[in-house]
A = this chain, B = another copy of it.
Amino acid sequence: MTGPLAFEVVARDGAARTGRLTLPHGVVETPTFMAVGTRGAVKACTIDQVLATGTPIVLGNTYHLALRPGAEIVKKAGGLHKFTGWTRNMLTDSGGFQVWSLSELRKVSERGVEFRSHYDGALLELTPERSIQIQNDLGADIIMAFDECSPYPCPEDVAAAAVARTSRWAERSRAAHKRDDQALFGIVQGSTYLPLREESARALVGLEFPGYAIGGLSVGEGHEKMDEVLAHTCPLLPEEKPRYLMGVGTPRDFLLACARGVDLFDCVLPTRNARNAQVFTATGHLKLRNARFREDFTPIDPECLCYACKNGFSRAYLRHLFNVDEITALTLATIHNLTFCQDFMKKIREAISRGELASFARDRNVL
């Protein structure tokens, strides 16, 4: 393996594939789901609880970590792995998405984005160079180029300008990247405009990143448009490199995207939904606060092997804990949803290996 990343496609089923992604902190079977640990912790969980869910990669948010505690603190601690205690792989995003979605925007220019911290209003700037410097300081195994993420819906000329800027920022990101133990991914933008997706993909592939993300999806465009973009974009990305669909999400979207050849996913939804008492099961999701679980002494999902289900914590118990605002409920539901996602990905990998992803997906159309 040259560089921090090696990727090998193991099995194919149409456009879908399983793979083996080797990173500095271990081998990852793909497709896989990466848990979101925004501020250096997967919410409501300890690292051992996250490890036990089978999660191979945890994502940290550059925007949040740069504001609190600050990249220099994490660097002094020895990097994000050392700071948080997480021993497997990590990925940091570039901060671009959060600057757009969370900050009061000040100024977007070719140079970068000036914005106000949502913590204390401090005026800050994020540029491709600064984003990469922060990510070098944080020290995740995979880091992301600084991009301009288009909202949805987005006028074509605005999306086109974002694609062009994303390509230029990708080049600057690549030039700024200083650590050879971190793999820098480029991000394809282009909203739902297929020619723009094509332009973006070609520009980024030309920069020869070790992996590619597809950004700007799962922002309200719906399953059909997402599928259309993925069907068009995935074949434009190198077969031999990992593909990461940002911000997805749900069992249904995992199936849809894996069928198009996506390898990596991340989303706050499994963990955020868990904290709202919404849990995945093999037969659809449950809202655990519901009165019908009052005397339901079965586990969330009898097939599930997570800590909560295999130890027999019942729907009635979890309903009670949620209804009286016990923090333990958030922990147990988060463990369950993360385990469900990893288990679901394992089943997807197995279905691809058997060449049966289509029928596997059909059987799960309730999800």
- In the complex, what residue of chain B is closest to A335 when comparing beta carbons? B46
Tell me which residues across on chain B come within 8 A of A268, comparing CB atoms: none
Inter-chain contact A76/B328, CB cutoff 8 Å: no
CB-contacts of A28-87 with B (<8 A): 39-49, 64, 68-69, 73, 76-78, 83-85
Tell me which residues across on chain B come within 8 A of A193, comparing CB atoms: none
- In the complex, what residue of chain B is closest to A327 when comparing beta carbons? B44
Interface string of A107-150 (1 = CB under 8 A from B): 00000000000000000000000000000000000000000000
Inter-chain contact B76/A44, CB cutoff 8 Å: no
Within the complex, what minimum Cβ distance (angstroms) separates A67 from chain B? Answer: 9
Inter-chain contact B73/A295, CB cutoff 8 Å: yes
- In the complex, what residue of chain B is closest to A69 when comparing beta carbons? B320
Total contacting residues, chain A, CB less than 8 A: 43
Q: Of B43, B294, B330, which one neighbours A73 at CB under 8 angstroms?
A: B294
Q: Within 8 Å of chain B (Cβ to Cβ): is A313?
A: yes
Q: Within 8 Å of chain B (Cβ to Cβ): is A262?
A: no
Tell me which residues across on chain B come within 8 A of A239, comparing CB atoms: none
Q: Within 8 Å of chain B (Cβ to Cβ): is A307?
A: yes
A295 to B78, CA, bound (A): 11
Q: Within 8 Å of chain B (Cβ to Cβ): is A11?
A: no
A312 to B83, CA, bound (A): 9
Inter-chain contact B73/A313, CB cutoff 8 Å: no
- Beyond A39-B321, A43-B327, A321-B40, whether A316 also contacts B77 by CB under 8 A is yes
Inter-chain contact A317/B83, CB cutoff 8 Å: yes
A83 to B42, CA, bound (A): 27
- Beyond A46-B328, A46-B332, whether A77 also contacts B317 by CB under 8 A is yes
- Beyond A313-B85, A327-B330, whether A297 also contacts B77 by CB under 8 A is yes
Within the complex, what minimum Cβ distance (angstroms) separates A202 from chain B? Answer: 40
- Beyond A77-B316, A85-B312, whether A326 also contacts B69 by CB under 8 A is no
Q: Within 8 Å of chain B (Cβ to Cβ): is A1?
A: no
Tell me which residues across on chain B come within 8 A of A43, comparing CB atoms: 326-328
A327 to B331, CA, bound (A): 9
Inter-chain contact A41/B85, CB cutoff 8 Å: no
- Beyond A45-B328, A46-B331, whether A323 also contacts B68 by CB under 8 A is yes
Q: Within 8 Å of chain B (Cβ to Cβ): is A314?
A: yes
Interface string of A148-192 (1 = CB under 8 A from B): 000000000000000000000000000000000000000000000
Q: Of B46, B314, B320, B332, which one neighbours A39 at CB under 8 angstroms?
A: B320
Q: Of B84, B323, B328, which one neighbours A44 at CB under 8 angstroms?
A: B328
A78 to B40, CA, bound (A): 39
Q: What are 11 A-B residue pairs whose CB atoms fall within 8 Å in the complex? A: A39-B320, A40-B317, A41-B321, A44-B331, A46-B328, A48-B307, A64-B324, A68-B324, A69-B316, A77-B314, A78-B297
Pick the 10 closest A-B CB pairs, nearest first: A41-B328, A69-B320, A44-B327, A39-B324, A41-B326, A68-B324, A77-B297, A83-B317, A85-B311, A43-B327
